[in-house]
Amino acid sequence: MMKKVLLISCVLIIGLFAQAQEWFPVGAEWTYQIHFPGGGYPNECYGVTSIKCVKDTVIEESSASVISGFSGCNFFDKEQIFYYNPTEDVVYMFINDEFKPYFDFSKNTGESYYMYFPNVDNQILELPYDSLEVRIDSIVNKIIDGKDFRVQYINSYSKQQYHFFRGPIIEYIGGVNGFYPESGSCDHEVFWGLHCYSDEFFSYYTKPIYQEKGCDYIPLNIYKQSHKFTIYPNPANDFITLDSDEELAKIEIYNILGKCVLSQENCKNNRIDINTLQSGVYYIKATLITGQILTHKFIKL
């Protein structure tokens, strides 16, 4: 009798653990920090957004998850549907009455896959969806809440240069920098990183302070730099050089009204041509490859 009870208990525990290893179960919640640059840099609005899996559904005889929440891109403030195929180890998004690949964890380091998502502007691209080529630079294992998860470190490339998706992708959680791909234009609200993820089985906090003070906590000293980041010469006339102790993934330059006037990705060369800018005060926002944001002010002569 004891052996039967023990066996049943083991089966229940294994069953619960297997249930936990699903993408986007009902009740899953992501809290991301978002940034609205249109309010006048550096006085723009910062906030957090909550994205949730609100229910299950069945589409094309497949069990899928319905995700709802404001994403930082105007198109995505409505429900989206995802389906995970455990045999393929691929997460699909339902777009234009069909499932298209979104995350692919069957791929190995050095391989690529295409991430599909709804198209925001049909005037630019006459298709109901757009895509990014996601290249896997490396895969590492990470222990979260006592469980082992794979993490893809990726680079993404858009043929049309309209969208990007950056930062690590954690198995069963998703993007650490943002939930959805974002527009390549830089004058709208954008993701500034995941604070927390939770579901029935485990929780994940990107920093201890979010566990301590709550997932909606935004540090008041957001502009305090923890990395070396300087600009020279300053003031400058033709060029500025960015000196950072970590590689830069993207830079954006804003005028005093908060309008993005220059954007550049894959910043291997930290020398920026500012000849086209008018004289005045500007603010530069630099995104490290780790997803952290650094800022600095400079003057164009």
Based on the domain organization, do 199 and 288 belong to the same domain?
Answer: no
Based on the domain organization, do 158 and 77 belong to the same domain?
Answer: yes
pLDDT in tens, 283-296: 788 877 766 777 77
Whether the Cβ atoms of residue 102 and residue 89 lie closer than 8 Å to each other? no
Q: In CATH, what number is assigned to the domain containing residue 239?
A: 2.60.40.1930
113 located within any domain: yes
Q: Taking the CB of residue 159, how many other CB atoms lie within 10 A of it?
A: 10
Based on the domain organization, do 169 and 293 belong to the same domain?
Answer: no
10 located within any domain: no
Based on the domain organization, do 160 and 279 belong to the same domain?
Answer: no
The closest of 211, 162, 160 to 183, measured between CA atoms, is 162
Percent helix, strand, coil in the chain (nearest 5)? 10, 50, 40
Sign of CA dihedral 161, 167, 168, 169: negative
Residue 215, both tokens: 């997932």
Long-range interactions of 48-53: CB distance < 8 A, separation 24+? 48/195, 48/215, 48/216, 48/218, 51/179, 52/27, 52/28, 53/24, 53/25, 53/26, 53/27, 53/28, 53/29, 53/199
Whether the Cβ atoms of residue 126 and residue 85 lie closer than 8 Å to each other? no
- Percent of the chain exceeding pLDDT 70 equals 72
pLDDT in tens, 130-184: 888 999 999 999 999 889 999 999 988 766 556 778 889 999 999 998 898 876 5
Whether the Cβ atoms of residue 141 and residue 151 lie closer than 8 Å to each other? yes
DSSP conformation class of 132: E
Higher model confidence: residue 113 or residue 34? 113
Whether the Cβ atoms of residue 108 and residue 80 lie closer than 8 Å to each other? no
Q: 102: domain range?
A: 23-213
Query: 75: buried, middle or exposed (CB in 10 Å: 19+, 13-18, 0-12)?
Result: middle
**Count: domains in the chain:** 2
pTM metric for this prediction = 0.65
Based on the domain organization, do 98 and 239 belong to the same domain?
Answer: no
| Phi and psi torsions of 87, nearest 5° | -70, -40
Beta-ladder partners of 223: none
Based on the domain organization, do 186 and 246 belong to the same domain?
Answer: no
pLDDT in tens, 266-282: 665 678 889 888 887 78
